[in-house]
Amino acid sequence: MRNVFWLILLSILSFSAQAQSRRDDDTSHYRTVPIPAHLLPIERAYGSSSLGSVYFYGGKKLSSPYSLEIPFYELNDPEVSHRFKAFRTLTTLGRLTALVPLAYIILSSNKSNGTYWTVYGGSIVATLTFTIVGNGQINKAVTRYNALLRQPRLGFSATPVPLTGMHAMGAGVAWSF
């Protein structure tokens, strides 16, 4: 009986590991639309932590991670967009959780000092948890964004030649950074 349990457990674990791996010849993860050429890499400042990061885009310091919304949506990658939306949701939940002690003071008829400090401490822990998890999501979005920009880009161009009025055709491969 014990061997059957271990056999079933091993089968479930190996099946879940097999389902999560992606084969190299699977083409479902390739982009169908090209990456816009004007997008720049996003840099994370040295010393940034999980409580907050400082980002640079095009050499300019961004005021907040919310400033990354435009390049993320221009990239049009579902994973990057999903992680940014998760960051926004978790940040909003963290801010709303900070209001719980105020709501307790206003709405509670039982003003026990011990209960207040429990609610206050719980809201601080919940706010920090939402902040850390949310910042982890934005960091994963930045990592994915930069990985997509590093992929080689193929292109064709047709440039008019000034003296003849004809077009010069060309093809090329470019790596971003």
How confident is the model at residue 17, as a pLDDT? 47
d(CA 87, CA 139): 9
pTM (two decimals):
0.66
How confident is the model at residue 94, as a pLDDT? 92
How confident is the model at residue 177, as a pLDDT? 47
DSSP 52: B
Look up residue 138 and give its amino acid: I
d(CA 72, CA 63): 16
d(CA 125, CA 98): 10
d(CA 59, CA 151): 21
d(CA 127, CA 131): 6
How confident is the model at residue 49, as a pLDDT? 73
Per DSSP (E only), the strands in the chain are 42-44, 55-57, 60-61, 153-160, 167-174
Q: Judge residue 132's burial from the number of C-beta atoms within 10 Å of its C-beta, 0-12 exposed, 13-18 middle, 19 or more buried.
A: middle
How confident is the model at residue 124, as a pLDDT? 93
Q: Are 114 and 57 in contact (CB under 8 A)?
A: no
Mean pLDDT (10-residue bins), the chain, 177 residues: 55 52 49 78 81 86 91 92 95 92 84 83 93 93 91 66 73 55
How confident is the model at residue 133, as a pLDDT? 94
